Amino acid sequence: MEIIVQPTPEDASLIAARHVARLVREKPDAVLGLATGATPLTLYRELVRMHREEELDFSGVTTFNLDEYVGLAPDHPASYHTFMREHFFAHVNIDPGRIHIPDGLTSDVPAFCRAYEDAIKAAGGIDLQVLGIGTDGHIGFNEPSSSLASRTRIKTLTPRTRRDNVAAFGTQEQVPIHVITMGVGTIMDAREVLLLAFGIKKSAAIAAAVEGPVTSMSPASILQMHPVARCIVDVTAASRLARTGYYRWVYQQKPDWQKL
């Protein structure tokens, strides 16, 4: 796993956006795995700016989102359909037919999950998966103890994760208990993974994921086994890493063509 430490979340997000844009320019029919939450907001804003000001073209891009709450309609203000539409899809020239987000209202969750996996395969697999990380180390909604070989499925959220997501709902009681999420194995199938983390609240999770043992109790730690995984963090999220100086030195020594 490559660790890239930047002074601020904005600096880190701009590096991530440049990398996504490079992929889209080099492969106009790229398949992107997308995340929601506060972490990728600046990334999406920068991609929108690139589309408007630099003609970054998303017309051939296909997207698959990581997850959605069970029981929420696509137009619910806290749904991830709404999040993606408001923060990204409505502002770029992506084909709506190429957008895939789990259906929180599906009447047959297992069948939908199998179909979601099939759709990813039919698209040729995910070229680049964008990830955030939970304070307990979850990726997607793969909570601690999730199978590291898991596929898209229903998951039950922990009280901690429900608390962490209360802002979009008002009270913890309103946060759904169940979600549909890509599995850890599904995420690991992506050709490249880009993990973003900002703030002191994410520092323990990042330390466990990057420098701790590979364990289902820290699902993000499986990314140590991914052949092309990059972790882009700000200084506060990196504050518990033991080898921050080494990670900075490695990135500074890269030839220009290899830097993000």
163 belongs to a structural domain? yes
Which of 46, 127, 136, 189 is an active site residue?
Answer: 136
Taking a C-beta distance cutoff of 8 angstroms, is the pair 150, 169 a contact? Answer: no
79 belongs to a structural domain? yes
Taking a C-beta distance cutoff of 8 angstroms, is the pair 99, 63 a contact? Answer: yes
Angle between helices 80-87 and 41-54 (to 10 degrees): 40
pTM value > 0.85: yes
Question: Does the annotation count 108 as an active-site position?
Answer: no
Which of 67, 68, 117, 189 is an active site residue?
Answer: 67
Which of 138, 164, 189, 234 is an active site residue?
Answer: 138
pLDDT tens, the chain, 260 aa long: 999 999 999 999 999 999 999 999 999 999 999 999 999 999 999 999 999 999 999 999 999 999 999 999 999 999 999 999 999 999 999 999 999 999 999 999 999 999 999 999 999 999 999 999 999 999 999 999 999 999 999 999 999 999 999 999 999 999 999 999 999 999 999 999 999 999 999 999 999 999 999 999 999 999 999 999 999 999 999 999 999 999 999 999 999 888 77
Question: Does the annotation count 136 as an active-site position?
Answer: yes
Which of 46, 68, 117, 143 is an active site residue?
Answer: 143
136 belongs to a structural domain? yes
188 belongs to a structural domain? yes
Q: How far is CA 133 from CA 31, 188, 224, 249, in A?
A: 21, 15, 14, 24
> In 123-243, which residue ranges form alpha helices assigned H by DSSP?
159-164, 184-188, 203-211
The CATH number of residue 250's host domain is 3.40.50.1360
CA distance 250 to 228: 16
Number of domains present in the structure of the chain: 1
259 belongs to a structural domain? no
Full residue range of the structural domain in which residue 156 is found: 2-254
Question: Does the annotation count 138 as an active-site position?
Answer: yes
Taking a C-beta distance cutoff of 8 angstroms, is the pair 67, 179 a contact? Answer: yes
CA distance 69 to 172: 14
Q: SS3 letters for 122-143? A: HCCCCCEEEECCCCCCCECCEC
Question: Does the annotation count 91 as an active-site position?
Answer: no
